[in-house]
Amino acid sequence: MENKILLLVSAMNSGGAERVASVLVNAWASRGDQVILMPTFSGRGECFYQLSSGVRLVYLADLVSSKARTWTNKGSRLFALRRFIAAERPDVIVSFLPNVNVTAVIASFGLGVPIIVCERTDPFVMPIPLWWRFACRFAYPLADALMVQTQAVAAKYASSGLALRRVEIIPNPVSAQMMNIQHRSTGAAMKRLISIGRLEDEKQFCMLIKIFAGLAKRHTNWSLRIVGDGSLRTVLQQQISSLGLEERIELAGRKENIAEELAEADAFVMTSKYEGFPNTLLEAMAVGLPCVTFDCPSGPREMTMDGQMALLVPLNDEHALGMALERIMSDAVLRESLGKQARVSVTERFALDKILGQWDLLFKEVGIKGLPR
């Protein structure tokens, strides 16, 4: 028996939550479920990721007359979403991110449709407006389940005092594309260190550039490629120029084919202040790259099995990060062994079929069959 799944997400731009949304809806559609993907952003936007023909893409902004970001428009979109849910009668609603989660709970209240709200970051460390924190505390106990991505976040909710009906841990899956691509060790003289993320403060690329600059003279055969875009692009480019490293550090912009970017690199580094369950680290490990990452909340510690499958560095310890990168850049044997271990580990733990099975168990628990055919 097929299920009718409505997945709500703020937008479908190039972010990590959006990438996971596209992987899930494509997988559900490919096995025969009816799947509706609805971006709720008032400005509508466009879909960055490729969707299966079996996924029905509906923009909430198209269901209201105005796309203005006003309180009146917020109310119009809320009522439009409620009418849509009442008309479509999905078997389950899945929503991503706090603002969408709160909206989904309110819009579906009393309609008898199970709802699963999903946190994609660690909300206990991520800067969230006070209004949304209060709204989440009100809305989440009304949902049938709260899905988080790590044991660490689940433990924080367990001690938060919220009367939640159910908290489930489901990590991000490794997509089939990543499973089929492996790091290509070309043996080329020039090596590439890669980092991926929005060019925003929480990714701390300013720190990464500074640390790489300190290593650059000793490791003349290494370059740094930062993939992503954001508001700090000009600032970062000025930093690179001031260091005289325009030929060694590249701001590559936003790229559609992340798998190819990773496959062509020699090592990966992540310097985030906080994450939820970082797709870029997961995917870098999946293609067999040796990885260096800050032990930020949350995700890296669990993904790397307490640092067994990557070099796990204390958060914001610049000296330790420099030493870890020194090890990776100096030792080809270490790079090869770490990369191989990482690939085996994450493909076993986070394969798409395994993660879909966890979603199906959650669907069953909240009241729909959700069993693969």
Q: Distance between CA 321 and CA 317 in Å, rounded?
A: 6
- What pLDDT score was predicted for residue 207? 98
Establish whether the linkage from the previous residue to 298 is cis, with ω within 30° of 0.
yes
pLDDT tens, position by position, 277-292: 898 999 999 999 999 9
CB 292 within 8 A of CB 269: yes
pLDDT tens, position by position, 52-107: 999 999 999 899 876 667 777 778 889 999 999 999 999 999 999 888 999 999 99
- What pLDDT score was predicted for residue 338? 96
- What pLDDT score was predicted for residue 257? 84
The full set of domains in the chain, from first to last, is: 4-173+351-366 (3.40.50.2000), 177-349 (3.40.50.2000)
The 3-state DSSP class for residue 270 equals strand
CA 203-208-213 angle, 5° bins: 160
Residues with Cβ within 8 Å of 249's Cβ and at least 6 positions away in sequence, in order, are: 209, 212, 213, 223, 224, 225, 226, 240, 243
CA distances from 360 to 108, 252, 307 (A): 21, 38, 30
Q: Distance between CA 112 and CA 108 in Å, rounded?
A: 8
328-347 core/surface letters (b: 16 or more CB in 10 A; e: else):
bbeeeeebeebbebbbebbb
- What pLDDT score was predicted for residue 251? 97
What residues in the chain have per-residue pLDDT under 50?
370-373
Alpha helices in the chain (DSSP H): 16-30, 71-88, 98-108, 130-139, 151-158, 176-179, 205-216, 233-242, 258-263, 279-286, 300-303, 318-330, 332-349, 352-366
- pTM attached to this predicted model: 0.86
CB 325 within 8 A of CB 195: no
- What pLDDT score was predicted for residue 67? 67
Q: Distance between CA 92 and CA 80 in Å, rounded?
A: 18
